[in-house]
Structure 1
């Protein structure tokens, strides 16, 4: 195992969204490729907004995607004593100080700075305070360097540098004694021996502050890789108004985890012109340095295309298991009677783009149609329908065919013997079996349903036409 240690550190204030899932995927791929360690950390220091439901949703989303972690999940809220210890260390070493400025005072100075065209940052007036005000609440601020610059070589964006004069003295502990995000992240990453931090590029501005904290505490500074954000079709940041952004929502919409993983890995990363990657291929070919620097646009049609590909090439037995919850929602239990579900799924794999579509399409196998597409039936004369249903029912009742190809050949014979064209026979039979015109091939349906059930359905349709 290599020394590489990466982490995915979501905040449990909502579901696992696709942006977070892509960050987790990139971390997971790098760890698996290099034989490193992938750590899951739940950043739950925001007590008011963090919920167990959100934690469960994150874990559920990770598990559904197959992004298994090697260590964790760890919870930030369990580390408060460690954070306090390091705050005190910085205070003792003169690398942090107590600030007694009230929120109202800070806001007034910020507004004045903006009116005067200055950067609205903390002015450092408590930096060298000798006499602490009695009984006045205080925060703890990091004593940041004011000269020079803080630079780092981002694995995706290249060298990034920030003038230190633009960075103010970061609050590392609030007046109620709780630590702040940037401080907790540094302590956690250092204590977990994280070597590479892969995260969204909305954290770029946090990085120089965190680097300064690493250095002040004597911790090794990890490598950083900031992944560009995901945009909606209107080039705004991806949000609910662009459609589902929750990983679990995509599962519930009938998408497969391999399709979503494949789609997410291609949002910002490429390997030549390749579009389709198995899990093993992703691990073998992924390179964090090949992630692009510009934002990616989420394309639902592309995801749908990939999902259709994975359904088409999927194992019918596995797809059947995944289909069961969708069928249960529709009141169908294949175990209670009807054809083998895997056999039914096989007839639909070429046509279904999502498991939801497949669930709707497979219903006729387990529930004989109660109504028929009257507009489609109206294209044929009543006498023709009665003749087709009569001939087909008689032929099938006596048939010895057992394969779809043999039944298809039988229907060609019926057409030849009666001077009919295939659509004149196929469409009425398809309507009789499924209720509509969008269904698998005739031979496939007969094999799956069984000739006895097919004859029963044709007789029912014939009776309906005669009335």
Structure 2
């Protein structure tokens, strides 16, 4: 891939403050970060807030907190300062005005006075004839704009009417462009419309602001989502009109829902069976909290590792990488062109892999769990429980669910199985087995297994498990016996016997 030989690599993440970041947005930030660090460059955070109608409180703080949690903090920009401030588009209006005046003066842009009603009327006329309306070279000379006016008429209009400023697309050109991921792209300018650059409220659109900011902030590579690929031609033409060389573009593939029905987006949060936000989002004024990966127990390292491989192939067989290893391996050329499917099971797999390195944190969590229940326990016992059960969990908070029976007797029993065994014969079997346990001198794994294997009674093993755990789950039954000891084991069996007696 071509790198700017003279200028140092500078990339930017430019989210809009219209709500929380989802998986696609944070992946864009991650890829920009990895690319910058790989090439000793600068990662910039810029807030694209030209659309004030869609502004959502707390969005900016959410963005900053998310980047910090993922350990991909910017080198420059909002919250970090830098030589190209302000890093908010809403505060750069005078800069945009200066350049749009240049475009007007050179004939690359024009004033348009069409009202929303005018445009809608034209659209309906076209629809009536089975056509699609587009404000372009074919129709602009029939509409209410400065291209159809004398200087005097324009002067009067500017004083009395609101207007937008549109970019003037010249037809008849096959515009050749290159994207690092998608390769060579050719667009016929006949198919482009005259996009609005300045809205009627005097605020620049994303297209104008984005292009000017990228140039002035010396951005060398624009790494963004595939949804912006159709806008690439306009941005390239804007660069050319302003006499600038465009940056290198790389448009990232979409992250798709695993059922194949479209891309992941904030609009379909409720219909998904997995989280799409890195950290929790509180909907302003509604007091509704949507949990993110952080709150659900995912480690930031696991989340970032998982996210990095959603569309990028490092070219090696392993999948677990530290952030520094991701930086060392990362390249835009190894990003897939086609969309990538998200699988929550794979995300859980990543978290489990990182869980193996978090034994001390698991110990602390389990220690607090037993402490709140006033349970006394030796450290060696606690560590043994962790080693026996941690292969059954994906998250730290799951450890109690899978190990409680080593500390407290079950408070309830598997209802379905309990109903099946509620009869006198079960009580007889348990009483007989209880006596056998009582007379077993060496209450060890090896000896207990030897004693009860001679009975060859699978049913009694299930009854034991129900008594000790409360359900037909858990680690090796004879390990549980040995860990609990003879007294506690017999007491739990007696408790189950009494429960059955009450139900009969």
TM-score (norm 1): 0.81
Counterparts of 1:286 and 1:181, CA distance in 2: 29
Residues 40-78 of structure 1, C-alpha deviations (whole Å, 9 max, x = no match) = 223233223222333333334333333332223343333
Question: How far apart are residue 83 of structure 1 and its match?
Answer: 2.8
Counterpart of 2:449? 412
Question: How far apart are residue 120 of structure 1 and its match?
Answer: 1.7
Contact 1:385 1:465 in 2 (8 A): yes
Contact 2:20 2:59 in 1 (8 A): yes
Counterpart of 2:306? 263
Counterparts of 2:17 and 2:309, CA distance in 1: 26
Counterparts of 2:354 and 2:359, CA distance in 1: 11
Question: How far apart are residue 357 of structure 1 and its match?
Answer: 4.4
User: Residue 140 of structure 2: which of 101, 124, 128 is its match?
Assistant: 124
Q: How does 1:301-312 map to 2 (within 5 A)?
A: 301-311=345-355
Contact 2:467 2:495 in 1 (8 A): no
TM-score (norm 2): 0.76
Task: Out of 155-164 and 238-247, give the one that drifted further.
Answer: 238-247
Counterpart of 2:282? none
Contact 1:37 1:70 in 2 (8 A): yes
Counterparts of 2:179 and 2:450, CA distance in 1: 70
Q: What is the CA RMSD across the aligned residues, in angstroms?
A: 3.6
Counterparts of 1:165 and 1:29, CA distance in 2: 38
Contact 1:235 1:297 in 2 (8 A): no
Q: Secondary structure at the match of 2:305?
A: helix
Contact 1:390 1:462 in 2 (8 A): no
User: Residue 314 of structure 1: which of 351, 357, 360 is its match?
Assistant: 357
Contact 1:427 1:437 in 2 (8 A): yes
Counterpart of 1:382? 427
Task: Out of 100-109 and 362-371, give the one that drifted further.
Answer: 362-371
Question: How far apart are residue 351 of structure 1 and its match?
Answer: 1.3
Is 1:98 aligned with 2:97? no
Q: 1:218 to 1:363 in 2, by over 3 A?
A: farther
Q: How does 1:317-332 map to 2 (within 5 A)?
A: 317-319=360-362, 332=369
Residues 153-181 of structure 1, C-alpha deviations (whole Å, 9 max, x = no match) = 10000011222232233211111111111
Gaps of 5+ in 1: 400-406
Contact 1:61 1:247 in 2 (8 A): yes
Counterparts of 1:24 and 1:342, CA distance in 2: 39
Q: 1:116 to 1:48 in 2, by over 3 A?
A: closer
Residues 131-159 of structure 1, C-alpha deviations (whole Å, 9 max, x = no match) = 22241111122334344243321000001
User: Residue 289 of structure 1: which of 328, 333, 337 is its match?
Assistant: 333
- Number of residues paired by the alignment? 447
Counterparts of 2:64 and 2:43, CA distance in 1: 14
Question: How far apart are residue 420 of structure 1 and its match?
Answer: 3.9
Residues 393-418 of structure 1, C-alpha deviations (whole Å, 9 max, x = no match) = 7869x87xxxxxxx4334335547xx
Counterpart of 1:44? 49
Q: How does 1:227-246 map to 2 (within 5 A)?
A: 227-232=252-257, 233-238=259-264, 239-240=268-269, 241-244=271-274, 245-246=276-277
Gaps of 5+ in 2: 1-5, 79-86, 280-291
User: Residue 88 of structure 2: which of 65, 71, 75 is its match?
Assistant: 75
Q: Secondary structure at the match of 1:21?
A: helix
Counterpart of 2:168? 143
Q: 1:242 to 1:459 in 2, by over 3 A?
A: same
Counterparts of 1:392 and 1:253, CA distance in 2: 42
Counterparts of 1:199 and 1:320, CA distance in 2: 41
Contact 2:430 2:493 in 1 (8 A): no
Q: How does 1:150-189 map to 2 (within 5 A)?
A: 150-189=175-214
Question: How far apart are residue 273 of structure 1 and its match?
Answer: 6.7
Counterparts of 1:445 and 1:89, CA distance in 2: 80
Contact 1:153 1:224 in 2 (8 A): yes
